[in-house]
Structure 1
Amino acid sequence: MKKKFLALAVLTAMTASIFVGCGSKDANDKPKEALVTEINKPVTIEMWHYMTGKQQEVFDGLVDEFNKTNGKQITVKAVSQGGIQDLNKKVVTASQSDSLPAIINVYPDLATGLIDQGKLFDLSDYINDPKVGMKEEIEKDFIPSFTDEVKQWDGKQYGMPLSKSTEVVYVNKTLLEKLGYSMKDLENLTFDKLAEIAKKAHDKLGIAGFGFDSSSNAFISSLKMDGKDFVELNGTINVDNDWVKTFMDYFKKENESGAFRIPGEDKFLSPSFSNQKILMYQGSTAGASHIKTNGKFDIGVVQVPVFEGKKKAVIQQGASVFVTNNTTPEQKYAAYEFIKFITNKENSAKFAVETGYLPVRRSSADTKIVKAAMADKKSLYGTLYPVAEESLEYSYYTPAVNNAQSARKAVQEKYDAFVTGGIKTVDDFISQLKSAVQTSIGRR
């Protein structure tokens, strides 16, 4: 099911006076808009996102700052659509009626379908433009795996990273030391060492020693350690192989012994970790704010474990910002200028530290706000950020396959059913998972 991605081909009837340069034709031999790089009258654009609570508060503050200081007569109206699923539904509906806003904050798998339909604008010409471009910044400063993720459509860059995270292992240092270990024992952590400590936690403390906050990430990252993508862009599904059988049998054994556990009805392990019912767990950096120690224990953070003989792999996730084709040339330029603003060094740092996400630029580490967070001994963000930053050197992203989120949900369900005994054999697990994933990515 190989994707064919369409190039931008929007014909406008607007006067040539608003364009800079002459029109040209794209690969489909259709007239292509020339870039607008100046705005001569007020322009208002709307952005849809899924942020709520503290995240929305921080983002709204940055939007207000842009509106007051951009000096280009641009006004951005940021609108929360609820959770990510609510946003996705509204985006799909709006795309069908050509009523999308100028900017959407979505995951790449949803972007794939929109690109196929010609709904999203390729930012490459703006990025490479000598006057307003940011090609050098992207190449030298942005986290490579973040920007590579939004360039996986024939090399065209349809988006820019914004709400990004990766995974780390949160550790109850107090209980770890009670077992006779230190944080140094968790450096270059292997699953063999992890299982040893987890077993002692179960035997001596009566609690599980380890768990994955996301069962789908556990499966996908373990597969990636062997160099395989869960699902490739051409639709190839890599779940039926000897390595899958090996690591899934391993996870089942550790869960049955009580050394490992899954979240279960809680959905996430942060509540159990906060209540000292689990020694450590692998979870998103963006979920750190949900951990509450109430002063009863100290927290440590380390990089994720790796299987002996395999390569380190940690997932990077989160939504990016995309510009739509339901816009005038001036609105596209306005959207691009806002994206430049929201992803600059200072704003990326501010958004990250105050929301729990990661900065999308390396240089954000040199900002006052990040340095202050790292110097604050009471700040969990300051503890996890250096670990996450180093982990990003071997991070990966999942290919933006159609309905990837639905496929991931299938992994979550089948993984949990197998390790808890609902699915009896690994062969049945593979058969059921492959069928469920094929159904998901084939759905339109």
Structure 2
Amino acid sequence: MKILSGKKKRILVLFCAAAAAGAMLLGGCGSEKKGKLDPDNPVTVTVWHYYNGAQQTAFDSLVKEFNDTVGMEKGIFVKSTGKGDVNQLEESVMSALKKEVGSDEAPDIFSSYADTAYEIQQMGYLADLSPYLTDEEIGEYVDSYVEEGRIGKGNQLFIFPTAKSSEIFMLDKTDWETFANATGASLDALGTMEGLAETAKEYYEWTDSLTPDAENDGKAFYGRDAMANLFIIGSMQLGTEIFKVEDQQVTLQVDRDVMKHIWDTWYVPYVNGYFSSYGRFRSDDVKIGEIISYTGSTTSAMYFPDAVELEDETYPIEYIILPAPVFEGGSPYAVQQGAGMVVTGSDAQREYACTEFLKWFTQSENNIVFGCASGYLPVKKDANDKGMLDKVIEEKGLEVAPKTFDTLVAAFDTVKSSKMYTNKAFQGGTAARKVLEYDLSDKAAADRAVVEESLNAGKSLEEATAEFISDAAFDEWFTSLESKLQEAVESK
């Protein structure tokens, strides 16, 4: 063995110290930054979230498990608080960060969607989490979930993926089978927006024919939650990224042909009465017999009704879960949604403690336990698997609602077979999404109301809808949509 001289030893020590410091700064480039923790003097970490009901119960249970095990061992105590819905949580966070009179002290961790996180990061309040994670750890998470969290420049990670969701198609199997047996309608047609629109038209005409003494009283077949997703994911499927974000700057790309396609396969069926929306959520509409199918979040599946409740009749129904319809011939993009967790910037010890809890919460088994109660998808690659799901359910003795189980399995297939997508955050992103969410849906509801008045006055369906589905009507709407979106992305 070669013996180093004293001088060479000192050089080697200095070199190693410099290398260690450099590795500490690089963080996400292969090493993990650690703050000093003391089990005898635990750090209390506060978490604010918007979970409620079964979701909150599951989250609180996992927080307790962490505190009683890993947290006790390392010196971390997590205190979780629900702050109402998403909007109420955002208001509470903003008030706390700005230290407004009467506000609580800002939390160490809070649930946040990308647009809100972007705004708060621009204010300088968020911690970059990349130094606390190794490349190997980051590689365990679904790539697109991690990418969504990179809202800073370079390799900075500001949103920790904790639970995600996508979209599915829910169908009232009981009423579908009555219709399908009478008409020969096929489930295969429901895989595309074009096939869905045609099937909805057939359903309207079939239900109309059941009451020959009453004209134009056909029933709607379909509805959807989250209209913004139709525009954003539909555009991606048809070859255009509506919000193209580079270096935190957005380029608006509203393709006329894509918008016409969406108009023809959603707005036109809606105005004709083939699609509908009545209550706050489409699951509510299925419950009252307004529609028999919808596209909604995977987390909404647990709210799909077990019975249809009409004014003079209530009857039980079964369900079918299918992938969300895509545009014919389009690329297989699917919705990626769901808030992550962000950490308020403080010091290395507290930020490290926060990250340790988030890493524990997103361990595959723990994340699946949360998903079984909440309907959210786990965020690690190996956890999006039916075999892993079955294993955790058996080992933990979990009781999982059949609809939640079936939805998770269907969503796992979506994650594996689709390109998961959500647009990157940008200034004005919240305002722009609201335009997509409400502009066409509000117009469709208002126009359908006029059509119904015309039908009651004796006009045919073709006569009643003619002015609304014309090329001129589309041109007017498209011009208005472009203007509203441009105004939104330029808003401060």
CA displacement at 1:247 relative to structure 2:
2.2
The 1-side partners of 2:488 and 2:267 are apart by: 25
428, 436, 439: which is aligned to 2:484? 436
Maintained 8 Å contact 2:35/2:350: no
CA displacement at 1:169 relative to structure 2:
0.3
Match of 1:338 in 2: 357
CA displacement at 1:260 relative to structure 2:
1.6
Deviations 1:66-123 (A, max 9, x none): 1111111111111111111111122223333495321111001111122223221111
Match of 2:9 in 1: none
Maintained 8 Å contact 2:128/2:157: yes
Partner AA of 1:144 in structure 2: D
CA displacement at 1:127 relative to structure 2:
0.9
Alpha-carbon spacing, 1:179–1:100, altered in 2? closer, same or farther (3 Å)? same
Partner AA of 1:145 in structure 2: S
Match of 2:342 in 1: 322
Match of 1:115 in 2: 121
Alignment gaps of 5+ in structure 1: 1-19, 28-33, 129-134
408, 411, 414: which is aligned to 1:388? 411
The 2-side partners of 1:389 and 1:184 are apart by: 24
Match of 2:452 in 1: none
The 2-side partners of 1:260 and 1:64 are apart by: 45
Matches within 5 A, 1:88-237: 88-97=90-99, 100-128=106-134, 135-139=135-139, 141-154=140-153, 155-180=155-180, 185-186=187-188, 189-205=191-207, 206-233=218-245, 234-237=249-252
Maintained 8 Å contact 1:188/1:303: no
Partner AA of 2:161 in structure 1: P
The 2-side partners of 1:58 and 1:183 are apart by: 41
Alpha-carbon spacing, 1:124–1:439, altered in 2? closer, same or farther (3 Å)? same
Q: What secondary structure, in the 3-state scheme, does the structure 1 residue paired with 2:251 have?
A: coil
Alpha-carbon spacing, 1:120–1:377, altered in 2? closer, same or farther (3 Å)? closer
Which protein has the larger Cα radius of gyration, Structure 1 or Structure 2?
2
Deviations 1:362-384 (A, max 9, x none): 333314345799x9996011222
CA displacement at 1:283 relative to structure 2:
0.5
Calculate the TM-score normalised by the size of structure 2: 0.76
Match of 1:288 in 2: 301
Match of 2:11 in 1: none
Partner AA of 2:164 in structure 1: K
Taking every aligned residue pair, what percent have the same amino acid on both sides? 28
Q: What secondary structure, in the 3-state scheme, does the structure 1 residue paired with 2:306 have?
A: coil
Deviations 1:267-317 (A, max 9, x none): 211012123331211001111122221471110011111222222222111
Question: How many equivalent residue pairs?
Answer: 408
Alpha-carbon spacing, 1:197–1:272, altered in 2? closer, same or farther (3 Å)? same
Alpha-carbon spacing, 1:21–1:372, altered in 2? closer, same or farther (3 Å)? closer
Matches within 5 A, 1:335-374: 335-364=354-383, 365=385, 366-367=388-389, 368-370=391-393
Alignment gaps of 5+ in structure 2: 1-18, 27-31, 208-217, 308-314, 448-466
Higher helix proportion (structure 1 or 2): 2
The 2-side partners of 1:284 and 1:76 are apart by: 29
The 2-side partners of 1:272 and 1:372 are apart by: 38
Match of 1:81 in 2: 83
Q: What secondary structure, in the 3-state scheme, does the structure 2 residue paired with 1:229 have?
A: coil
Task: Give the 4+ runs in structure 1 shifted more than 6 A.
Answer: 23-27, 181-184, 375-378
The 2-side partners of 1:271 and 1:361 are apart by: 32
Q: What secondary structure, in the 3-state scheme, does the structure 1 residue paired with 2:337 have?
A: strand
Q: What secondary structure, in the 3-state scheme, does the structure 2 residue paired with 1:164 have?
A: coil
